[in-house]
Structure 1
């Protein structure tokens, strides 16, 4: 199982260095940001499983960052915890109302900090277990089989039914080469007669809507989804 991706956001370099050091020892994948605006941009490209936000930051505070992230469907299920030295009720209430999941109080003790991170990620694992048959996530690409929709970087992508079914088949086994005969059978069915170019046209449409990098062609064989 791959280790979680964690985005650390704090305007104090010493704190970022300490947190990164302790989490990288646990083999987590770490990205950092020193202000709220940078945090939002890095979150979009890094697609973290967990975001640790300092509340007091220049340009945009952590509460506002959380608000903006929660407005984007890409981060609907991302755990967001706040790093703060402030214990006032109104601060914590504002952070929770913005969509925060938890708090980690400063000063931070490394062993306690690592235990809290593991506990937060276990909470996310339980959520994922309930949703694993409904939602599939490949970085910024999110496929929701229950709602029958696709989002890329938080934006909904319109797709025809067969485009969606073809994407769902290819993403069911990333890296596997699906032969043309298998694709026709599973997406269009044995009883439906379609032209030889049907698969190629639908792959082209997927590339136009999602991007070229996800789909690879093996000439004369079939297609595969890579992530």
Structure 2
């Protein structure tokens, strides 16, 4: 069985060639674009399984490429791993807000990058295999169609945000540590810093809008979805 297709959008020729070579060695089908405009066009025409997207690109930058892909019904569910030389948490938040599923800062180990790519693809396969609908306190998650609503309004969630919300909604009231959320929502093979969960949660709360307070911070531990029984307590 052929491995997944991966699109690299990277304007640094040497880095692009290194990534192209290593991914092909792993058996992936690989295409390489040198600027954001070319990468966006290729993604729309071929819908790869995953995109390795540099942030600083000529023509159209990575953030705008990501934003446009998420806005297009045909490409909104593509897995996107963003590469950048920046390392500030605010830059990570911007990347996750426009829809990136993971975020790797340069310089990085190719081996670690491959692990992150494998983790994203496995999460995607696992999500496609799950078949159930989860409902709690006005939030509905349909794992068959990969759709989520809050108060009847559709939520535009990244795969990572979808996984986090699914994990929380399964057990309302349970306090999850950040490590548990990485394992439950993102997969135990995911290479994710615990503070990255905080960035995802922040973005998820923003998208939940009026339902944002359903995700509660548990000091010294992590997060939980509010227990429905709390609503009837006096």
User: Under TM normalisation by the shorter chain, which class is it?
Assistant: 0.5 to 0.7
Matched, 1:74 2:60: no
Q: Distance in 2 between matches of 1:72 and 1:50?
A: 16
Aligned ranges 1:26-45 → 2 under 5 Å: 26-45=26-45
Residue 91 of structure 2 corresponds to which residue in structure 1? 91
SS at match of 1:32: strand
| C-alpha distance 131-108 of structure 1, shift in aligned 2 (>3 A) | farther
Residue 122 of structure 1 is matched in structure 2 by: 122
**Counterparts of 1:92 and 1:59 in 2: how far apart (Å)?**
22
2-structure distance, mates of 1:40, 1:64: 9
1:137-156: per-residue Cα shift (whole Å, max 9, x none)?
xxxxxxxxxxxxxxxxxxxx
| 1:98-120 superposed Cα distances (whole Å, 9 cap, x missing partner) | 01111122112122221111111
Which structure has the larger Rg? Answer: 1
Q: What is residue 107 of structure 1 aligned with on the other side?
A: 107
Whether the aligned pair in 1 keeps the contact of 2:81 and 2:117 (CA below 8 Å) is: no
Q: Which SS does the other structure have where 2:128 is aligned? A: helix
- Equivalent position of 2:204 in the other structure: none
Mapped to 2, the partners of 1:65 and 1:112 lie a distance apart of 24
| Residue 165 (structure 1) aligns with | none
Q: How far has the Cα of 1:76 moved from its partner? A: 2.1
Give me the whole-angstrom Cα distance separating, in 2, the residues matched to 1:64 and 1:88: 19
Secondary structure of 1:73's match?
A: coil
Shift of 1:134: 5.0
CA RMSD in angstroms, aligned pairs only: 1.8
> The residue matched to 1:64 in structure 2 has which SS?
helix
Contact 2:7 2:43 in 1 (8 A): yes
Q: Assess if the C-alpha contact under 8 Å between 1:31 and 1:46 holds in 2.
A: no
User: Offset at 1:21?
Assistant: 0.4
- Distance in 1 between the 2:70 and 2:77 partners? 9
Q: How many Å separate the matches in 1 of 2:131 and 2:50? A: 17
Q: Deviations over 1:48-80 (max 9, x none)?
A: 110111001112110010000001111222111
Shift of 1:2: 2.6
CA distance in 1, matches of 2:71, 2:94: 16
2:54–2:83: 8 Å Cα contact kept in structure 1? yes
Q: Is the 8 Å Cα contact of residues 36 and 65 (structure 1) preserved in structure 2?
A: yes
TM-score of the pair, normalised by structure 2? 0.55
Structure 1's 51 and 58: CA in aligned 2 closer, same or farther, altered over 3 A? same
2:130 is paired with a residue of what secondary structure? helix
Instruction: Provide the C-alpha distance between the structure 1 equivalents of 2:69 and 2:113, rounded to a whole number of angstroms.
Output: 23
Name stretches of at least 5 consecutive residues in structure 1 with no aligned partner: 136-227
